[in-house]
Every structure is written in C-alpha cells, then in structure tokens.
Amino acid sequence: MDVLAIGDKVHDEARQGEAFSPFANDPNRYSKHFYIESYGCAMNFADSEVIASILNNAGFGATRNVEEANLILLNTCSIREKAEQTVRKRLTEFRKLKERTPGLLIGMLGCMAERLKAQLLEEEKLVDIVVGPDAYRSLPGLIEEAETGQKAVNVLLSREETYSDIAPVRIDSNGISAFVSIMRGCNNMCSFCVVPFTRGRERSRDAYSILHEVTDLVEKGYKEVTLLGQNVDSYYWIDEQKDETVTFAVLLEKVALVSPELRVRFSTSHPKDITDEVLHTMARHENICKYIHLPVQSGSTRILQLMNRTYTREWYMAKVDRIRELLPECGISADIIAGFCTETEEDHQDTLSIMRYSGYDMSYMFFYSERPGTLAARRYTDDIPEDVKKRRLQEIVDLQGQLSRASNEKDLGKTFKVLVEGNSRKSDADWMGRTSQNKVLVFPKKSMDEQLKGTYVMVKVTDCTKTTLRGERSK
C-alpha cells in the first residue's frame, strides 16, 4: 500500500478522499446552481449539508455537474500539508473552466479559508470568496458582493454559532446514516493541531435542536446517526427550562431513547474526557454502538507530553482496560502520528507496543506534518527526517494490518446484527452492512430483487480478510 496515501487519510474511512456534492432534489426549481466538494473530517461534510441548506434558501440549487455551476465551492481541510496541496491542485483544475465561463465564482470555505484568510485571495487569484467555518450564514451576502466584481471575505470565528436552527440538506446520503453535529470548535491545545485555530472555541449545540434533528431523521427512515464533535465527551449544555445539566452521557441516552431501531454512534472521544458514565450508558442501550474511536497519537509518555495530550501511556492503557471491562464486546480504533518532533526509536517502539496492548480493530495513521502557527511549530523543531517518518509509519501500518486481521479472525463463527447499507462494493450479488463494532460484513443476497437496505439482519461470520468480514445469514 502507498504510505503517502495512508498518511493522508481523513477521519471517516468510508468518505476518505471522496468529494461529494449535495444535490437538490429538484434542480429545475433554481435558476442558479452551486457545486460543492468537501475535504477533511466528517464535520466538514456535515457543514456542507448546512451550507447546502443556506444556499437553497438563497435560491441556489445544488448540481453534481461542475459545468452547470454558477458557483464552485471547496470546503477545505488544513490538518496536514498534503490536505492543503490537494485543494490547491484541484483549484488549478478549475482555472480553464473559470476562463471560459463568464461570471463563474469560486469560493473557498472551511479550515483552509480560516487559516489563510485574505492571504488566500493573493495566493490564489481564482478565488472570489473566502468564508470560515463560523461564517456560513453570510454566504448569500458575500456571493452578492462577489457578483459585483469585489472579492468577499468573512472569517470571523464565533463563540456561539452552532447552526442549530438550520436543517441540513441530506442530499448525497444513502438515506440510512446521517451525521449530526453536536458541538463545534475545540478547547484542547494539542501542540501538533491546527483545529483550535481554524474552528475556534468549543461550544455545544442546544440539546433540543439535536433531538429534533434526530427525530426528524428517524421519521424520514434513517437508521443510524453519528454524533459529531472534535471532542464529544466534553459536550456540556444547560437546559434552563428544566434546570438540568446535559453532559455527553445524558445526551447520548436521550438520543438512544428516540427510537430503539436507531443506531447511535459518536466521534471523536478524547481519552482524557471519556467517562465511566458514558461507558455505562453505552452498556445500558443496545442501540448505542459498541465502538469507540480513541485517538492515542503516540505510545510514549514523553511524546504525549510534548503533544500536550494531557494523559500518559499508563493512563491511556488503563482507559482501554476500563472499556474492555465495562464493554467486553466494544471495538476500539485510534489515530496515530509517526515521527513527531524529537521522537526516538524507543518512543516509536512505545507506539507499536501500545497498539498491541490496545488491540485496535482499525487505525488512521499519519506521519507528522508541521502546521504553521501551532504550538509545536513555535516551540519544537520538526527534526525527524522524512524517510524515518515514512519508515516508522510503514511499521505502524504493517502492525495495524496484523491487528486488524487478528481482530477479524476472533469474529469467525460469531453471529452479528448487521445494518445493511447497500450492495457490496465488489459485487452487487452481495449485501454490505456494518456490525455494532463498525466492521464491514458482506453476505450473499438470496435474490437480485431482495430488498434489505436499511434493515437489520443476523449474519454469521464464516471468512475474513484484514479489512472485511464475510458471512451467511443465520436462521
């Protein structure tokens, strides 16, 4: 496998590197059209659904055909240098289109817009509009401004904005799973990370609006929601009507109670914040999926300190023990960074050993990419040579392959309740679904006109690779 490609993985594997375009149901309703591509984490994809809603209300329909667009939007990511390069390359591809299409506007949204602000307009002459993650409500006004030939920028960050009253337009979705943002921003200051600078201070969304959105999704036939935040365990909202404090555990329970038929997932948990209360809540509700994404970043306490992660190796291992104790069936995955500043071979071995200890089912693995303005960029030297970073990353990737295979082999002979998402990617004679642990399980259709999408099926695992389980329907 190509290490660079792995190093550039985004948060949600299913959507990795994929650009998606929300598409209005009836494009003929609108006289103007926008085309949007999203990069980066699930939160950016969720934001694009909010943007689609704002633009629909301003008279723009979505199109999947870039040639038809009056407005091209790139919802961008700054997490690693490679993510920014991908967007810049994409922009140059739009150059010719812009030259031959009078009036075509190009807008940069998201984290890169926030990081580079008006500087982007100087660097990228093609760009007409620059809008940061907290300023999407101003998009219609900025588009009007840009239509008069001015460059339009709004990168103000907010302490309050959660877009709670905007119903996201779920267009390119499979109709079964949806993302629901529960908070924005991040108050942690992991030294390697650009997110606190691009997304601003942490704020939690009104719990009622979250429950309203989830209820609406259930009514529309959705079967799974993923509650999204950079650090979901620090969700905190005060219900002034009832004088009740809504923590993440409380919210999770409220969402689980919306419908027993609805699967509930969440991402991401910071190891320092996930509480026993959350684990007990997960144990109490069958429909809260037994899967926790618990980014470790490094297995070395010294490196974790430099990263400002606020936990030690031992503390993290104790958290894994606690999850295994309270939720024996729970899947665990991680994010891992290879080659952070000053990382020695010994530190790297600590990362490999914590991976073995935790027995991750899956990981997102990256090599360190220095981001301007972060604490690490200001305080430490990015001193690990690229070849060493890549070699260490490859060792991490190889080990994860073994761990994933071992984890899947443990499932042979077991029966899982699977939510069917659609055809298997490899063959439309097979169904593809996920287990509660978020593993992909493929099983044969009984006939080509069988309708199982969006239903739960019990499947017994008979075979596996390191990425996929295969099985047969159990009677």
Return residues touching ligand F3S (CB under 6 A).
40-41, 43-44, 77-79, 110-111, 194-195, 198-199
Q: Residue 300: name its binding partner from ligand SAH, ligand SF4, ligand F3S, none (Cβ under 5 to 8 Å by kind).
A: none
Q: DSSP H helical segments within 285-411, as ranges?
A: 301-306, 313-326, 345-358, 375-379, 386-410
Q: Residue 371: name its binding partner from ligand F3S, ligand SF4, ligand SAH, none (Cβ under 5 to 8 Å by kind).
A: ligand SAH
Helix (H) or strand (E) holding 32: strand 32-38
Cβ neighbours around 25 below 10 Å, total: 10
Place of tokens 């967007």: 87
Residue 188 in the binding site for ligand SF4 (CB under 6 A): yes
Residue 195 in the binding site for ligand SF4 (CB under 6 A): yes
Backbone φ and ψ of 254, nearest 5°: -60, -40
Query: What is the C-alpha separation between 362 and 194, in angstroms, rounded?
Result: 24
Taking CB under 6 A as the criterion, the residue among 190, 214, 288, 459 binding ligand SF4 is 190
289 is in an annotated binding site: no
Q: What would the two tokens of residue 341 be?
A: 């500043």
Residue 79 in the binding site for ligand SAH (CB under 6 A): yes
Contact assessment for residue 218 and residue 258, using Cβ atoms and an 8 Å cutoff: yes
Side-by-side strand order, sheet with 177-181: 177-181, 224-228, 263-267
For residue 217, CA distances in Å to 121, 232, 235, 257, 288 come to: 39, 20, 21, 14, 16
Interacting residues with ligand SF4 between 211 and 230 (CB under 6 A): 230
Interacting residues with ligand SAH between 356 and 415 (CB under 6 A): 366, 368-369, 371
Determine the residue type at 164. S
Taking CB under 6 A as the criterion, the residue among 52, 74, 113, 186 binding ligand SF4 is 186
Residue 355 in the binding site for ligand SAH (CB under 6 A): no
Query: What is the C-alpha separation between 367 and 297, in angstroms, rounded?
Result: 10
Residue 369 in the binding site for ligand SF4 (CB under 6 A): no
Nearer to ligand SAH, 186 or 210 (CB): 186
Nearer to ligand SAH, 13 or 335 (CB): 335
Query: What is the C-alpha separation between 86 and 83, in angstroms, rounded?
Result: 5
Query: How many residues bind ligand SF4, per CB under 6 A?
Result: 9
Least gap, CB of 418 to ligand SAH (angstroms)? 27
Sequence-ordered list of residues with C-beta below 8 angstroms from that of 169, at least 6 positions apart, any chain = 22, 24, 49, 52, 53, 56, 62
Residue 44 in the binding site for ligand SF4 (CB under 6 A): no
Contact footprint for ligand SAH (CB under 6 A): 11, 79-80, 192-193, 195, 230-231, 268, 270, 295, 297, 335, 337, 366, 368-369, 371
List, as residue ranges, the binding site for [4Fe-4S] cluster: 41, 77, 111, 186, 190, 193
Known binding residues: 41, 77, 111, 186, 190, 193
Report the interface residues with ligand SF4, using CB under 6 A: 186, 188, 190, 193, 195-196, 230-231, 270
